[in-house]
Structure 1
């Protein structure tokens, strides 16, 4: 159902927590071989359950979207995608002109109504809508929100030697939020940290040193938003597959294995930050591997604060 009708909007309902997927763009077919170079056609074909939703003719389907969460009268965003009008080295991300903000608004999340923005990690395709252009200057898109990321993630990138493309990303998407005083850093114990009612940041290092996943503990069921600890469902069947941009590939494998073991054969939802539609599902043991059983969103009444 079209979210702009104002009657109902597709979502995953966890009881007192409701989760929406807000689309930005579909990523081009060449993204898969670049991002997960060992996910060859033979590897993909070993997991026939990937078709038709997650792969097509040996090609991985990937997307850029964010998650909008409603809980206890709060409006929360998890990651902010690529963003518009930003110079990027990746041609698929360069100077986008998407209708992301209109889609966000149509789901009841007007930018000035957002209370909390959670950054799973400080990569270009997760912080883009942190800011937008106002009179030629990059300003926070969500003026009343607290922006959260882990202190370990922030400290790593503060010290790291960054190339020009990453410096540009910080200049247009991270530094303006820092300068506005809206970024808060979270110290995470191993068990994680609750940042709002039922919203937990849990350590998920490897892809980046301080990456977090976001656990949503609803009154009816739980869900886990992956960040980039799992880029694509093929990594359920082959958890050893690593990304070309993992900071510590072996740590990423260990993190992925831990998260999948916790989710397997439960009713907890796995919500993939780059999974194509239907995006979410439950994890099931499949011999010595895992598979995802898709769970599409259902119609949900409009949110009222």
Structure 2
């Protein structure tokens, strides 16, 4: 006896079940879950993963190991005779994709989906290693890189009553970077925008963390940013930068790096810019902001190289 039409027995944003079934197992035909969701008791003929490896896997060993464990647990979901379909981007030479069988790579040059002009724009808008990972599907290990992977914490309350710094962008290819700090706990976020276009979001973050003084350099804007922050009722301290940027980053951020704990919702692009930093880096707004804030709070630290 044929079926005249499809009937949706269940249809939600994460689950679909219809009358087109070959068995009565009592399970829905399609079920969508986040990588961190409970999979106890779940079974499937086809398991599809999409982007379970992401930018956080690039900057955090703990995140890479967590993703690997979650992927291994999915093996118990697949029914006998079933199969996996994995799609995504490799972000690190030791991420979960290295354990997936029959990997086929299709980079930006093979697919034909992005024009040469678009590729050039993308290349100019991010660091070389980010472009290589995301579009060329390869890893660049820069022998001159100053920093290794970050260490994370989930203790947001540890930032309360801390301080912050804004490295402002006023156009061009620069980023606006915001860094918060209390003792050795830090948070960072990056915007590829003019500071005026992200200042409201920065103020919201600052208030949510219950932070105090914001440090703002006045070299490029003659005190404009400090005045804008002051208008919004926040404590601000402007300063005139005289130190060489590379020496500042090597002096303060590098010396503190092994002791720093980054909040686990720190912007991965912010940390990627730090991990990509060299003396000749095209983008250095995040490491510059972090180093400036560390210097402001630890003035007695000596240069360690």
Q: Work out whether the TM-score is over 0.5.
A: no
TM-score, with normalisation over the residues of structure 1?
0.24
Q: Which has the higher contact order (CA 8 A, sep 6+)?
A: 1
Asked which structure has the greater CA Rg, the reply is: 2
